[in-house]
Amino acid sequence: MRTSTVHLLRAGYPVLRLNLRGAGADASRTKEFYHAGRTQDLKRVIGALDGRLAAQGVVPIGFSLGGNMLLKYLAECGAMAPVLAAISISAPIDLAAAQQRIARARNRVYQRQMLEWLRSERGVDLPPQLRTMIEFDEHVVAPANGFKNAQDYYRQCSAGSTLGAIRRPTLLIHAQDDPWIPADDYRAITPATHPSLIPLIPRSGGHVGFHASGLAMPWHEAVITRFLGAFG
């Protein structure tokens, strides 16, 4: 997000970088934390933007879990979305499928580090028996946010099933080799079924890792700039 901010500022675009609730330096100042479907916060922020900053229109960009939240927000707003367009990068639009992928043996180190981060940085008192992010969602995220269980959370908050309601031009960038998020749902998006969506699914790029030798910036940032150019 910081790298993209620098690139977009250099290209002449005003930028507001939003930390999700409970993330960043002010984590201790909130009683609640973000989750994949907490679109109310995004709605409030976009609605409260300084008119001078948003005079030429707003194009939100969501990374990873924030991308799912953004897409869900766009679907909820439909034709009333107060944005010109939108971009998501490596968004887990099927949360259940993403967590099942993360639970695989190859992702064990990442999953362990994520749980350690939740214990230390966010101060979450996790039961010692929790070993997976699915268990974290089951025993922490779901009950804290009014969901019956992890599967109920995934069902209600996954953006994938709601994408057809989006009515703003939306670029979806996702790598086929993302180690945590399957690309199947992205491959199913067509102009006939989702006329407002533009899926861009390169063969490689990992998870928000679109780097290439010889490029001065990550590949997805060049793509973002070209997309924004279509809107002035």
State CA 97 to chain mean position distance: 15
pTM tops 0.85: yes
- Are 103 and 211 in a shared domain? no
- Are 104 and 206 in a shared domain? no
- Are 186 and 105 in a shared domain? no
- Are 181 and 79 in a shared domain? yes
CB neighbours of 203 closer than 8 A, spacing ≥ 6? 175, 176, 177
176: domain CATH number is 3.40.50.1820
- Are 172 and 62 in a shared domain? yes
Give the whole-angstrom CA distance, residue 212 versus residue 216. 9
Number of domains in the chain: 2
**What amino acid is encoded at 71 in this protein?**
L
- Residue identified by tokens 């929790």 is 130
- Given 127, 142, 157, the domain boundary residue is 157
- Are 57 and 110 in a shared domain? no
Q: Which residues of the chain have pLDDT under 70?
A: 26, 121-123
CB neighbours of 55 closer than 8 A, spacing ≥ 6? none
- CA-CA distances (angstroms) from residue 37 to 29, 57, 139, 190? 21, 24, 17, 24
- Are 118 and 204 in a shared domain? no
- Given 157, 176, 206, the domain boundary residue is 157
Domain with 43, as residue range(s), is 2-94+158-229
- Given 157, 185, 201, the domain boundary residue is 157
pLDDT of residue 138: 95
Give the whole-angstrom CA distance, residue 184 versus residue 97. 10
- Are 186 and 151 in a shared domain? no
- Are 82 and 18 in a shared domain? yes
- Are 190 and 218 in a shared domain? yes
pLDDT of residue 123: 66
- Are 146 and 163 in a shared domain? no
